[in-house]
Chains A and B, each alone.
Chain A
């Protein structure tokens, strides 16, 4: 790891101040991706601003139509929250499928979404549920937030405060785990929402999480796995690496979508 100065922010105002004073600073949340990145010398910040203890970024609030989760809420807390399990069981189940128990005990919702790893789980839930990302300066719709692999709409120094997930009529997530890393080789989050059926695919897209509109249209007509028969994910923009080719990932994405629908319809 290159040397850097560790700074802990006690409040959002302090975090903003530290970030604006140190243009080469980076934000540290749970660190489950960022610390390995630093160890691999893939990042060289002058300062690391730890925001994990900021009280304004903690907590889960459930209203009649939405679940709002503070950015520094850890995966284990989302997964085990009785309120989240009741309101959006698919979201709680997804949280308990991330990484391993040690990672879930440190990793945070905000960290995962801000990083936008193309194989991360949370971005698929955020996009499929049509969530809203609440930051220190504005509210961003999920459809505008994810802008390609590791790229988001966040500006320099802008911090995710919380994410508001509208409660769907029904939803499910299905994921093909990479057997070693636990990351999604392909994952599909299917949500039947007030604004229609939304299907988000993670793990497969070379530009990160994306909506599979053909599946959405088919499921809008008939919400059943059979409605997806013959539909194919376009593999021209799918990831190809040593683990799987783009055609295989596209195939997996379609299979995961069917399984997610089957989880819902039983």
Chain B
């Protein structure tokens, strides 16, 4: 077992983990933050995307032990109390979801896109979302949502 400690959504946590424990399993099963989803478990769908030290990563393609000392934000940590994050607000306004399963990952990936590029074109949004799959194929409204979020973030 490996003793690890990290910050998640502003809270300091520590845990004893097996070497093979995936970060996403620690987040969901032990910390009960079930907004981060497991869609494919083969690091293709991006539903498990979280922010680690400022960068969007797939938490199913990381060992929990690799996150020792990190600062993590999950979908639960985006909103400020009752005030939704601009990307969450935009997905709501533009109906950027259908079944909603991929949405936490889509929103986290979109936060990453807008962090690197506050004014992305449609093409840049599509490229930025390459690591996320929506099996409802609701991409048109997802792209709209990211554009709307860019507007909201400028205000």
Contact = CB atoms under 8 A, between A and B. Distances in A.
A50 B69 CA distance: 14
Contact of A36 (B19, B43, B49): B43
Interface of B: 2, 18-20, 22, 41-44, 46, 49, 52, 55-58, 61-63, 65-66, 68, 109, 112-113, 116, 128, 130-132
A3 to B, nearest CB: 6
Contact of A31 (B61, B112, B130): B61
Number of chain A interface residues as a range: 20 to 34
B102 to A, nearest CB: 13
Given A101-B113, A102-B109, A6 B131 contact: no
Given A50-B65, A101-B56, A101-B112, A180 B44 contact: yes
B interface, over-half SS: mixed
Given A105-B57, A106-B61, A48 B19 contact: yes
Nearest to A46: B19
Interface of A: 1-6, 8, 28, 31-32, 35-36, 38-40, 48, 50, 52, 76, 99-103, 105-106, 180-182
Contact of B20 (A8, A38, A102): A38
Contacts of A99: 130-131
Contacts of A103: 43, 58, 61, 131
Given A3-B19, A31-B63, A36 B42 contact: yes
